Amino acid sequence: MTLSPRSLQGRLLWLSLGLVVGVWLATAAWTWFDVRHELDELLDGHLAQAAALLVVQQAGELEEEDHAVDAPTLHRYAPKVAFQVFHEGQLALRSANAPVDPMVGSDATFLTGFRTVQIDSVDWRVFAARGADRDVQVYVGEQLSSRAAILWAVLRSMLWPMVIALPLLALALAWSVHRGVAPLRRLGLVLSSRQPQVLVPVVVDDAPPEMLPMIDALNGLFVRIGELMESERRFTADAAHELRTPISAIRMQAQVAQGEADEALRRHALAATIEGCDRATRLVEQLLTLSRLEAGAAAAGQPIDLGAVIRSVASDLAPQAIQKQQTIEVDADEPARVRGDALLMAVLARNLIDNAIRYSPARGTVQVTLASHRDRIRLTIDDSGPGMSDADLARLGERFFRVIGSGQGGSGLGWSIVRRIAAVHRATVEVGRSTSLGGLCVTVDWPLDA
Amino acid sequence: MRLLIVEDDPSLGDALTTGLRQLGYVVDWFRDGAKADAALSDAPYDAVVLDLGLPGADGMVWLARWRARELSLPVLVLTARDRVEDRIAGLDAGADDYLVKPITIDELAARLRAMVRRSAGRSQAVWTHGALEYDPAAKIVRWKGARVELTGFELALLETLLKHPERVLSKALLQEKLYDWSGTEPESNAIEVHIHHLRRKIDPSIVRTVRGVGYSLGAETAPT
């Protein structure tokens, strides 16, 4: 297992270990302070008690001078405690390890209570007491180094088990982290052992609840990718299929032109070749548009002025209508705002108006009307063409359906695109007979949010 | 050879028609199955090139109908549908060949020739009739080894006669084989003129006149 702090296991391990060590250190420090305090009090208490005993005891026996007593070593801590008894200013009794001068350090006024003094550059804790009657001054002291030694011994016995336990704890933590992260590792193994193109949902046994959202999201992603790949595959297949005929035509026309001696026929063949290329290009554009739409791109929700879009498209297509000596009437002056993608709206309008122009005869009429109602905006396109039979109306929007006998070289994708764009914008498309012109009438309704 | 093309795409149909005519075939082109069906009963076609993606009824429907009517005309399917299932379905429905676009005119012509050759009971590419040798692919005619130059119409006429060596073909039939509905009406004695040219260029015995009935291929002459 990796111990790098950047890995999940490393993070868990170092975090928990750091916490444990931190808590342990804090506890040790607190314990040290606490024990030292209590120890000081305890030993101070003993000093005071020893001084009191001396005062009481010596009250009756202070005739000899400078009696140095060799206090027996009764306890392992004993050698470091020293005492002095002064009677009327004279040193009457002292322990063997006590100095001759009063243990007051630099402070001569030290007569009662506790002081920490330095005697010959050694730190002592001294308790001074006076007798109530008679002039008895007692000093009991102990070297601080002995206190420190006691403190250290107490702490050591308290804390060394924990020191032993710390590495063991670290190992235990490492093991438990390793085990705890096992489901993640299993997921990683499952994913890495998959073939890249396999999109079957992932199943992890005993997945912990925290991982379930992640696994669900992953499987959802697989499904979406699968759909995307399927739609791309379909697009490629459709494109290949639909392009076969135009490409075949182009090639054959070119071949005909190659072999044609007659100049007029040759030019005709070459013109047909060029037209074939244009058709193929248009087809490719439409297929791309359709594939992008089918990939599920949601319409960008920009507010757009439909009137401006319609007018622009109509003016682009007007030359075509004029060439066929058709009359094209556009009534889209009112502002009409909807939310959507301006480019897609233009494609929709272009497909519908272009259709109307194509299928209407020469000298026919095409009417484009944009009207704002309270609850919707309606685009109506009427043409004076032959219209469509009910059977054909039902088949509109099928992928490559084309109306027969029209003599038009359309690709049949236009309707699919129109329907798809409308669906993406939550608009509805209706096709029927035109009451005003007798041909086809297409209405597109954009509902207005209240 | 007179061919019927059924193809709804204007550009491709135009290219097929012109291209095949360039190669010397007589071609009629219709853009939907119904019109093609009507034409089939009106003219003596040698083969049909059928597109499947037709408006109205699909090409497969027409193929099935023609075969059900026991129309044994060779049919070559030319389509964009390339899946194996489609090929199998087309061939099993009665197509004699199944081609996927795009293809070249030359290959199409070669396959048509093969189809027609087989339907005429011939197996060799070069048709021999005694001292006469005819290569329909290269459009070369040899008489006793020597090359003979013929015009398009003469070639078509000779080919038609060679295709049905046992039959007597009426003048009207020959006329229908040689002319499609796109060009101008032929002269009333055009066939006789062509027959005359054939006899002159090859050999008088190459065509036999059957009075009141028509013409047929002459008897085989030893190729000495």
- Residue A168 buriedness (CB in 10 A; 0-12 / 13-18 / 19+): exposed
| B15 vs A contacts (CB less than 8 Å) | 248-249, 251-253, 255-256, 269, 272
Q: Are A69 and A156 in contact (CB under 8 A)?
A: no
Q: What is the pLDDT of residues B165-188, one digit of tens each?
A: 888 999 888 888 888 777 777 788
pLDDT at position B93: 93
pLDDT at position A193: 86
B125 touches chain A (CB under 8 A): no
- Please count the helices (runs of H) and the strands (runs of E) in chain B: 8, 11
pLDDT at position A65: 55
Q: Which helix H or strand E contains A312, and what residues bound it?
A: helix A306-323
Long-range pairs, B16-21, Cβ under 8 A, ≥24: B16/A252, B16/B49, B16/B105, B16/B108, B18/A253, B18/A256, B18/A260, B18/A265, B18/A269, B19/A252, B19/A255, B19/A256, B19/A259, B19/B105, B20/B105, B20/B108, B20/B109
Q: What is the pLDDT of residues B129-148, one digit of tens each?
A: 888 888 888 889 998 888 98
Q: Which helix H or strand E contains A174, and what residues bound it?
A: helix A144-180
User: What are the start-end ranges of the H helices in B150-215?
Assistant: 152-163, 171-178, 190-201
Determine how many CB atoms are found less than 10 A away from the CB of residue A341.
Answer: 19
Q: How many CB pairs under 8 A join A and B?
A: 79
pLDDT at position B68: 93
CB contact (8 A) between residue A256 and residue B15: yes
A389 touches chain B (CB under 8 A): no
B16 touches chain A (CB under 8 A): yes
Tens-of-pLDDT digits for all 450 residues of chain A?
A: 667 777 888 888 888 889 988 998 898 889 889 988 988 888 888 888 888 887 777 665 555 555 555 555 556 655 567 888 887 777 777 777 777 777 776 667 777 888 888 877 888 888 888 877 667 888 888 888 888 888 888 888 888 888 888 888 888 988 988 888 888 888 888 888 888 777 888 877 778 888 889 888 988 988 888 887 887 777 777 778 778 888 888 998 998 898 888 899 899 989 989 988 988 888 888 778 777 776 665 556 778 888 888 888 888 888 888 888 888 888 877 778 888 878 888 888 888 888 888 878 888 888 998 888 888 888 999 988 877 777 666 666 555 555 544 444 455 667 777 887 888 788 888 888 888 888 888 889 888 764
Whether pLDDT at B220 is above 50? yes
| A279 vs B contacts (CB less than 8 Å) | 11
Which of A236, A238, A244, A258 is most worth mutating to test chain B (most B CB atoms within 10 A of its CB)? A244
| B101 vs A contacts (CB less than 8 Å) | 244-245, 247-248
B204 touches chain A (CB under 8 A): no
* Nearest CB partner across the interface for B10, out of A259, A405, A409: A409
Average pLDDT over residues B49-77: 90
pLDDT at position A405: 42
| B56 vs A contacts (CB less than 8 Å) | 404
A396 touches chain B (CB under 8 A): no
Determine the angle formed by the axes of helices B10-22 and B105-119, rounding to 10 degrees.
70
- Strand partners for A369: A331, A380
* Nearest CB partner across the interface for A256, out of B22, B53, B81: B22
The C-alpha angle A133, A136, A142, rounded to 5 degrees, equals: 135
Give the gap in angstroms from C-alpha A362 to the nearest C-alpha of chain B.
Answer: 20
Question: Please, what's the largest Cα pairwise distance for chain B?
Answer: 57
| A246 vs B contacts (CB less than 8 Å) | 9, 11-12
Give the gap in angstroms from C-alpha A193 to the nearest C-alpha of chain B.
Answer: 34
Per-residue b or e along B52-62, where b marks 16 or more CB atoms closer than 10 Å to that residue's CB: bbbbeeebbeb
A391 touches chain B (CB under 8 A): no
- Percent of the residues in chain B that have a pLDDT greater than 90, as a whole number: 31
pLDDT at position A417: 79
Name the nearest CA neighbour of A400 among B71, B176, B9.
Answer: B9
Q: Which residues contact B83 (CB under 8 A, 6 or more apart)?
A: none
pLDDT at position A206: 77
Question: Please, what's the largest Cα pairwise distance for chain A?
Answer: 159
ipTM for the predicted complex comes to 0.70
A298 touches chain B (CB under 8 A): no
Which of B18, B21, B98, B103 is most worth mutating to test chain A (most A CB atoms within 10 A of its CB)? B18
**For residue B112, what pLDDT band results from cuts at 50, 70 and 90?**
very high
